[in-house]
Amino acid sequence: MDITAKVKEIIVEELGVEESEVTMEANFIEDLGADSLDTVELIMKFEEEFDIDIADEDAEKLVTVGKAIEYLKSKIN
Amino acid sequence: MIDLSEKTAVITGAAQGIGLAITEKLAMNNAAVIIVDINKKLIDQRVEMLTSRGLNAAGYQADVTKSDQIEDIFKEISSTRGNIDILINNAGITRDGLLMKMKEEDWDLVLAINLKGTFICTQKVSRYMLKQRSGVIINIASVVGIMGNAGQANYAASKGGIIALTKSTAREFASRNIRVNAVAPGFIETEMTSILSEEVIKKYAEAIPLKRMGKPEDVADLCLFLASDLAKYITGQTIQVDGGLIM
Ligand SMILES: NC(=O)c1ccc[n+]([C@@H]2O[C@H](COP(=O)([O-])OP(=O)(O)OC[C@H]3O[C@@H](n4cnc5c(N)ncnc54)[C@H](O)[C@@H]3O)[C@@H](O)[C@H]2O)c1
């Protein structure tokens, strides 16, 4: 499974943003317009899609697309 | 005219009493209704009674304090029906007694079913409503949650808690076009109040400006209004339906 592509696809769908905006550096709240509810929904979607549990302490740190991808790759492999 | 066609409504504790009256009222205004109750036998009878009248009704047995059961039900409703538009948190019990002699288990049970059950059902439905960007949640509180009542410390605390939960939920979900309100009935003629003696009921009725006990339908009428678009600018409120008992 191409984790990077899947994560980007989820972000595009959940946040209703253009794929071109979903760069590695993009911050969910500042750049992609997410609010606190969106970020919770996004984490829940990752958990569901990749069948993993993401602890709240970890979730707080996943503020950019790159950080989320890096974290999910480490959890899944 | 209120028309709830295309809307799916889930009502907890709807096998009898106020919950059943709300269910009938929403169904008669074209909503697809789903009864969630702990009483399997009654659910089957009620669904049968509603569908035989040509109304769109289904039922699930579940305990509102069991989050896994509630989660499964919403998952199934969402996958079979698409949207979940209306949730009425109505399941509730009383275990009355003076505070000095109240058993902890009676405190815990009333708080678990009335307050935590409302939280659990709200949490489990929220992922669907948030995604839909629409929804209505109505929590059945009680005037006792506003004014307190001797002999009902546990019940009053649970209902006061529901009112505060309603306001917090309304604030959290408002940006997603989900309205959350509480309804506070006064004394309504149901099984719950049938345990009261005739004398007590008479005394209560005299204290009510409209001079009668309420009927489940009085509560259902308010819920229909709140569930409809007529209430589209109302959220976070607690509305009494009590014949003027407290003002
Ligand atoms: N009757 C009144 O005067 C009055 C006044 C104010 C508020 N209320 C509130 O209205 C609501 C309905 O009351 P009612 O008078 O119709 O009561 P009722 O006892 O007639 O009905 C309650 C229903 O809830 C179900 N239930 C109980 N525990 C459950 C659980 N753990 N999970 C799922 N279902 C469960 C029961 O099986 C029953 O069908 C309650 O929240 C009650 O506190 C009632």
- Distance, CA A30 to ligand 1 centroid (Å)? 46
Smallest Cα distance from A76 to chain B, Å: 24
- Asked if ipTM goes beyond 0.90, one says no
For the cut 80, the answer to whether the pLDDT of residue A1 exceeds it is: no
pLDDT computed for residue B48 by the predictor:
98
Kindly state whether B176 is in contact with chain A, defined as any CB-CB distance less than 8 angstroms. Answer: yes
pLDDT computed for residue B37 by the predictor:
98
Over residues A32-59, the mean pLDDT reads 95
pLDDT computed for residue B204 by the predictor:
86
Ligand 1, pocket-test mutation among B64, B68, B87, B93, most atoms within 8 A of CB? B93
For the cut 90, the answer to whether the pLDDT of residue B99 exceeds it is: yes
What are the structure tokens assigned to B26, written together? 């929403």
The verdict on a CB contact (< 8 Å) between A41 and B131 is yes
Reported as a single tens digit per residue, the pLDDT across B166-212 is 999 999 999 999 999 999 999 999 988 888 888 988 988 999 999 99
For the cut 90, the answer to whether the pLDDT of residue B45 exceeds it is: yes
The secondary structure of residue B208, as a DSSP letter, is S
Q: Which residues contact A17 (CB under 8 A, 6 or more apart)?
A: A11, A32, A33
Architecture of domain B8-241 in this structure: 3-Layer(aba) Sandwich (3.40)
**Nearest C-alpha to atom 31 of ligand 1 is from which residue?**
B63
Kindly state whether A41 is in contact with chain B, defined as any CB-CB distance less than 8 angstroms. Answer: yes
pLDDT computed for residue B192 by the predictor:
83
Contact indicator for B57, B51 with CB cutoff of 8 Å? yes
pLDDT computed for residue B191 by the predictor:
87
Reported as a single tens digit per residue, the pLDDT across B108-156 is 999 999 999 999 999 999 999 999 999 999 999 999 999 999 999 999 9
> How is chain B split into domains, by residue range?
8-241
Smallest Cα distance from B132 to chain A, Å: 12
Adjacency order of strands within the sheet including B238-241 = B57-61, B32-37, B8-12, B86-89, B135-140, B178-185, B238-241
pLDDT computed for residue B189 by the predictor:
93
pLDDT computed for residue B195 by the predictor:
84
Task: Indicate the pTM of the whole model.
Answer: 0.95
- The atom number, within ligand 1, closest to the CA of B216 reads 16
Q: How many CB atoms lie within 10 A of CB A68?
A: 24
For the cut 90, the answer to whether the pLDDT of residue A50 exceeds it is: yes
For chains A and B, count residue pairs whose Cβ atoms are closer than 8 Å.
9
For the cut 90, the answer to whether the pLDDT of residue A77 exceeds it is: no
Q: Calculate Rg over the CA atoms of chain A.
A: 11
